[in-house]
């Protein structure tokens, strides 16, 4: 006897991996709405999405890297260093901020390449390598900038990451970048060989190698993508604020990892979801924005994030076990 | 395959989802309930009526040493108030670039005192340590939250400008404090760091050790924190004054992560002084490095042998001045930066958006002659 149509639909809905995090995000939004109705106004939601972009643009590539079984702790320093390089080049040797931004993004790729080579060729755990590069790139940011904040005149460069007004509402262009990044990495992970190889490398590296997967190349590419997008976020923030400081991004690394974990990425590799990471980023942005709206402030943000990361990790583990036991 | 395993899978999944929702709801709901701002109270003022008798005269006759004024007297009645004029319960945002910086402890006390005085509520926002993008996001959210007014320190010259413009366009008044930026804000409560640095440099040149004035050829050690723009401007001004007078000036640049760490800064300063024992001047540019220099002066028994100065008020610095290890500090008066920023927001709104002002929180030297008064003030002791 065939199952009724509605139960087929329900089964399909329940099989959506990201359903729990989506429901949690909606629940969090609802509670902040109860705390301050402004939370769901279009203007505020646009700010939530902007704040989500500040994490998501790094969390999504980080998710792919985590799925392939590696860490990158240096993203916060790369985020600070890349716009400073762009700005200093602009002021000293090449008075075109667009070209200097592209050059500095290429340098970001090189930073990722360094992380990848040290990890896969030298054999040092990525945690150690990227912790070292976190300090190194952070120091470079201070040296290149002289420790000083860097500003640029507001020009057409503002349109790269600034605000545009649609129907009287300001929308940060970063949101469009976030949407595009999510689509891109979803396609990479779900539809391309590289994504498939990333998943295989993270779940069982030896088996992947035996099946002909070039695991080293996979990891190096993922390191480069992570650094590239960390640098891109720095450039977008430079565009939006017309300023950058060498000490920004101190919490970015762990917020990006938190968003990925909340979204269902396994820290041991081999499992995860780009859509889940995107929703995790939106959840973090909602929490940060909502806490300000209810007057709680920054101190509570880390506490809430910590609690939700642990809860999400436990839930994901249980769900994975339940799915695995019924395969 | 029987139906049983699928039912169990579904039950498990429902259970896990329910657990996720309940857990998240409990965490967020409890936080929302616990963190909701308390209701404000308004104060009442009662005054009594008085009458004043005033004499007026159509003529004034002056003869010799006597002046006679004659005419009918007029009584001017006074109105009686039993309560103060009613005001809305304003809600302000106070956004600072370092909520955990000890310098802002008196400032936060000033905010709370002003809240109680004017019957308003002020939410304290901002990152724990200097993080401009995070602080800009806080300002953006404060504008969206439609606070009645915003006071915000602006440690970057340009990063806050578009958000300030957005706030002003939305009818939300914005004042800055502690660190200023050239934008559309209504007023600034704080100091001019270059003026402070010049004053410090001149004070150093007016100082002497064992009767010998500080002057050309002497070595000075200055600390600088470039990521905090006001500290950087102070250091630049001091260096300029001292180099102009022929002193040899070396400076230690402190990064953002080390800047609040008194112990780490003390290690750097001690290393420098032990390598350069002829150093005559040691001057900080902020709270932590000034405290560190006092600590080093005490540890190396340099009281009376080196001129140690700096900025800001903290119990540590005031204690070091009293003990003779620090010669002076320039009081940035953080309490006023907190109190006056709330006061000006309140006055601006109460005056139908016409009263706005800057306030210079003074370049006051606190030294052994007046430190006792500052030590007695409760809001300088955290």
Tell me how far apart the alpha carbons of residues A29 and A41 are, in angstroms, rounded to a whole number: 12
Q: Which residue in A70, A48, A36 sits closest to A222, CA to CA?
A: A70
| Pairing of β B359-360 and β B60-63 | unpaired
Which of A11, A247, A307 comes nearest B130 by C-beta? A247
3-state class (DSSP) for residue B287: helix
CB B286 within 8 A of CB B228: yes
Which of B27, B131, B140 comes nearest A308 by C-beta? B27
For testing the chain A interface, which of B2, B37, B134 should be mutated: the one with the most A CBs within 10 Å?
Answer: B134
Tell me how far apart the alpha carbons of residues B120 and B114 are, in angstroms, rounded to a whole number: 8
ipTM: 0.75
Tell me how far apart the alpha carbons of residues A260 and A26 are, in angstroms, rounded to a whole number: 18
Residue B44: CB atoms within 10 A of its CB come to 10
Work out the end-to-end distance of chain A between its first and last CA atoms, rounded to an integer number of angstroms.
Answer: 22
CB B180 within 8 A of CB B191: no
For testing the chain A interface, which of B28, B36, B179 should be mutated: the one with the most A CBs within 10 Å?
Answer: B28
Q: What is the pLDDT along chain A (327 residues), one digit of tens a residue?
A: 555 666 777 666 666 778 888 888 898 899 899 999 999 998 888 889 988 999 999 999 999 999 999 999 999 999 999 999 999 999 899 988 899 999 999 999 999 999 999 999 999 999 999 999 999 999 999 899 888 888 887 677 877 887 777 777 777 888 899 999 999 999 999 999 999 999 999 999 999 999 999 999 999 999 999 999 999 999 999 988 888 888 888 889 999 999 999 998 988 888 899 999 999 999 999 988 888 888 776 677 778 888 888 887 777 777 667 666 543
Using the beta-carbon criterion (under 8 Å), do B159 and A149 form an inter-chain contact?
Answer: yes
Q: Which residue in A57, A237, A56 sits closest to A158, CA to CA?
A: A237
Using alpha carbons, list the distances in angstroms from residue A206 to A202, A203, A212, A213, A216: 10, 9, 10, 9, 12
Tell me how far apart the alpha carbons of residues B288 and B264 are, in angstroms, rounded to a whole number: 10
Q: Is A24 on the interface with B (CB under 8 A)?
A: yes
Tell me how far apart the alpha carbons of residues A10 and A19 are, in angstroms, rounded to a whole number: 12
Tell me how far apart the alpha carbons of residues B313 and B320 are, in angstroms, rounded to a whole number: 11
Residue in the block written with tokens 């436990």? A314
- Could you tell me the residue range of the domain that residue A203 belongs to? 5-326
CB B285 within 8 A of CB B231: yes
Structure-derived torsion over alpha carbons of residues A295, B101, B257, B274, reported in degrees to the nearest 10: -170
Element (H or E) spanning B136, and its range?
Answer: helix B132-144
Phi first, then psi, for residue A212 (nearest 5°) are 90, 10
Q: Is A127 on the interface with B (CB under 8 A)?
A: no
Residue in the block written with tokens 């980023």? A281
Q: How many CA atoms lie within 13 A of A76 on its CB side?
A: 22
Residues 6+ apart with CB under 8 A from B244: none
Question: Which A positions 34-63 lie with beta carbon below 8 A of chain B?
Answer: 34-36, 38, 41, 43-44, 47, 50-51, 54
| Pairing of β B174-177 and β B187-190 | parallel
Tokens encoding B367: 């030294």
Using the beta-carbon criterion (under 8 Å), do A47 and B31 form an inter-chain contact?
Answer: no
Using the beta-carbon criterion (under 8 Å), do B9 and A322 form an inter-chain contact?
Answer: yes
**Residue of chain B whose Cα is closest to the Cα of A47:** B141
Tell me how far apart the alpha carbons of residues A300 and A35 are, in angstroms, rounded to a whole number: 15
Using the beta-carbon criterion (under 8 Å), do B159 and A243 form an inter-chain contact?
Answer: yes
Q: What are the chain B neighbours of A300 within 8 Å (beta carbons)? A: 31, 35
Residue in the block written with tokens 């005490």? B298
Question: Which B positions 139-198 lie with beta carbon below 8 A of chain A?
Answer: 140-142, 144-146, 155-159, 161-162, 166
Q: What are the chain B neighbours of A151 within 8 Å (beta carbons)? A: 156-159
Q: Is B5 on the interface with A (CB under 8 A)?
A: yes
Question: Which A positions 236-255 lie with beta carbon below 8 A of chain B?
Answer: 237, 240-243, 245-251
Residues 6+ apart with CB under 8 A from A175: A46, A49, A50, A52, A53
Tokens encoding B96: 């600072």
Q: Is A296 on the interface with B (CB under 8 A)?
A: yes
Q: What is the 3-state secondary structure (H, E, C) of chain A?
A: CCCCHHHHHHHHHHCCCCHHHHHHHHHHHHHHHHHCHHHHCHHHHHHHHHHHHHHHHHHHHHHHHHHCCCCCCCHHHHHHHHHHHHHHHHHHCCCCHHHHHHHHHHHHHHHHHHHHHHHHCCCCCHHHHHHHHHHHHHHHHHHHHCCCCEECCCCCCHHHHCEEEECCEEEECHHHHHHHHHHHHHHHHHHCHHHHHHHHHHHCHHHHHHCCCCHHHHHHHHHHHHHHHHHHHHHHHHHHHCEECCCCCCCHHHHHHHHHHHCCCCCCCCCCCHHHHHHHHHHHHHHHHHHHHCCCCHHHHHHHHHHHHHHHHHHHHHHHHHHHHCC
In CATH, what number is assigned to the domain containing residue A133? 1.10.3470
Number of domains in chain A: 1
Predicted TM-score (pTM) above 0.80:
no
Q: How close, in Å, is residue B220 to chain A by CA atoms?
A: 21
CB B177 within 8 A of CB B153: yes
pLDDT the model gives residue A14: 65
Question: Which B positions 191-230 lie with beta carbon below 8 A of chain A?
Answer: 224-227, 229
Using alpha carbons, list the distances in angstroms from residue A86 to A21, A82, A152: 37, 6, 10
Using the beta-carbon criterion (under 8 Å), do B24 and A149 form an inter-chain contact?
Answer: no
Residue in the block written with tokens 């050059």? A103
- Provide the number of CB pairs (under 8 Å) joining chain A to chain B: 190
Using alpha carbons, list the distances in angstroms from residue B361 to B179, B190, B333, B335, B336: 12, 5, 6, 9, 7
Tokens encoding A124: 């040092």
The pLDDT averaged over each successive group of 10 residues in chain B (382 residues) is 47 64 63 48 35 37 44 45 61 91 86 94 88 91 94 90 92 94 91 92 93 92 87 93 95 81 88 90 92 90 92 86 93 90 94 84 86 75 48
Tell me how far apart the alpha carbons of residues B366 and B356 are, in angstroms, rounded to a whole number: 29
pLDDT the model gives residue A23: 85
Q: Is B31 on the interface with A (CB under 8 A)?
A: yes
Q: How close, in Å, is residue B29 to chain A by CA atoms?
A: 6
pLDDT the model gives residue A188: 96
Question: Which B positions 52-91 lie with beta carbon below 8 A of chain A?
Answer: none
pLDDT the model gives residue B50: 36
Query: What DSSP character marks residue B64?
Result: T
DSSP result, B145-198: TT-SEEEE---SSSTTHHHHHHHHHTT--EEEESS--SSS-SEEEE--HHHHHH
Tokens encoding B181: 């930026």
């Amino acid at each position: 006897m065939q199952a009724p149509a509605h139960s087929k639909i329900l089964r399909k809905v329940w099989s959506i991996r990201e359903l729990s995090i989506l429901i949690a995000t909606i629940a969090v939004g609802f509670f902040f709405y109860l705390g301050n109705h402004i939370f769901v106004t279009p203007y505020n939601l646009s700010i939530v999405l902007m704040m989500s972009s500040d994490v998501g643009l790094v969390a999504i590539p980080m998710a792919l890297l985590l799925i392939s079984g590696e860490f990158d702790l240096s993203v916060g320093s790369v985020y600070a260093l890349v716009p400073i390089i762009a700005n200093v080049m602009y002021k000293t040797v090449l008075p075109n901020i667009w070209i200097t931004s592209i050059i500095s993004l290429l340098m970001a790729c090189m930073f990722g390449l360094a992380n990848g080579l040290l990890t896969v060729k030298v054999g040092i755990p990525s945690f150690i390598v990227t912790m070292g590069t976190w300090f190194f790139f952070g120091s470079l940011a201070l040296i290149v900038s002289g420790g000083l904040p860097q500003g640029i005149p507001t020009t057409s460069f503002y349109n790269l990451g600034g605000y545009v007004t649609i129907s009287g509402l300001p929308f940060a262009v970063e949101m469009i970048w976030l949407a595009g990044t999510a689509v891109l990495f979803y396609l990479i992970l779900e539809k391309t060989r590289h994504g498939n190889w990333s998943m295989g490398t993270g779940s069982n590296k030896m088996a992947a190698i035996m099946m002909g997967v070039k695991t080293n190349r996979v990891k190096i590419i993922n390191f480069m993508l992570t650094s590239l997008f960390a640098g891109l976020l720095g450039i977008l923030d430079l565009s939006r604020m017309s300023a950058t400081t060498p000490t920004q991004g101190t919490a970015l690394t762990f917020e990006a990892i938190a968003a990925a974990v909340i979204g269902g990425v396994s820290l041991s590799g081999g499992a995860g979801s780009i859509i889940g990471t995107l929703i995790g980023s939106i959840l973090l942005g909602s929490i940060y924005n909502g806490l300000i709206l209810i007057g709680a402030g920054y101190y509570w943000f880390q506490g809430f994030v910590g609690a939700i990361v642990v809860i999400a990790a436990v839930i994901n583990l249980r769900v994975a076990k339940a799915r695995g036991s019924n395969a | 395959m029987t139906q049983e395993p699928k039912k169990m899978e579904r039950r498990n999944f429902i259970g896990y989802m329910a657990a996720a929702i309940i857990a998240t709801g409990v965490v967020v709901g409890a936080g929302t309930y616990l963190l909701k701002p308390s209701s404000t109270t308004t104060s009442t003022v009662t005054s009594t009526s008085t009458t004043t008798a005033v004499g007026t005269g159509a003529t004034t006759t002056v003869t010799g040493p006597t002046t006679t004024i004659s005419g009918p007297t007029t009584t001017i009645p006074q109105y009686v108030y039993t309560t103060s004029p009613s005001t809305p319960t304003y809600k302000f945002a106070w956004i600072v670039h370092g909520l955990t910086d000890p310098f802002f402890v008196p400032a936060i006390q000033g905010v709370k005192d002003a809240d109680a005085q004017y019957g308003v509520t002020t939410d304290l926002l901002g990152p724990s340590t200097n993080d401009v993008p995070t602080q800009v996001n806080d300002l953006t959210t404060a504008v969206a939250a439609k606070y009645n007014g915003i006071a915000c320190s602006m440690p970057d010259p340009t990063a806050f400008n578009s958000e300030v413009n957005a706030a002003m366009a939305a009818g939300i008044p914005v004042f800055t404090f502690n660190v200023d930026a050239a934008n559309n804000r209504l007023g600034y409560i704080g100091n001019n760091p270059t003026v402070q640095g010049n004053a410090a440099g001149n004070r150093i040149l007016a100082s002497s050790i064992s009767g010998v004035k500080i002057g050309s050829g002497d070595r000075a050690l200055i600390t600088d924190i470039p990521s905090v723009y006001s500290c950087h401007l102070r250091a630049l001004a001091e260096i300029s004054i001292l180099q102009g007078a022929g002193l040899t000036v070396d400076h230690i640049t402190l990064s953002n992560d080390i800047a609040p760490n008194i112990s780490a800064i003390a290690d750097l300063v001690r290393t420098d002084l032990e390598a350069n024992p002829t150093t005559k001047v040691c001057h900080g540019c902020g709270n932590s490095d000034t405290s560190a220099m006092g600590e080093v002066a005490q540890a190396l028994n340099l009281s009376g042998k080196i001129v140690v100065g700096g900025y800001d008020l903290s119990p540590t610095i005031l204690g070091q001045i009293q003990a003779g290890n620090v010669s002076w500090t320039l009081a940035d008066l953080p309490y006023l930066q907190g109190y006056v920023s709330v006061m000006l927001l309140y006055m601006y709104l109460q005056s139908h958006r016409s009263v706005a002002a800057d306030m210079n929180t003074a370049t006051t030297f606190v030294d052994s002659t007046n430190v006792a008064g500052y030590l007695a003030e409760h809001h300088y002791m955290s």
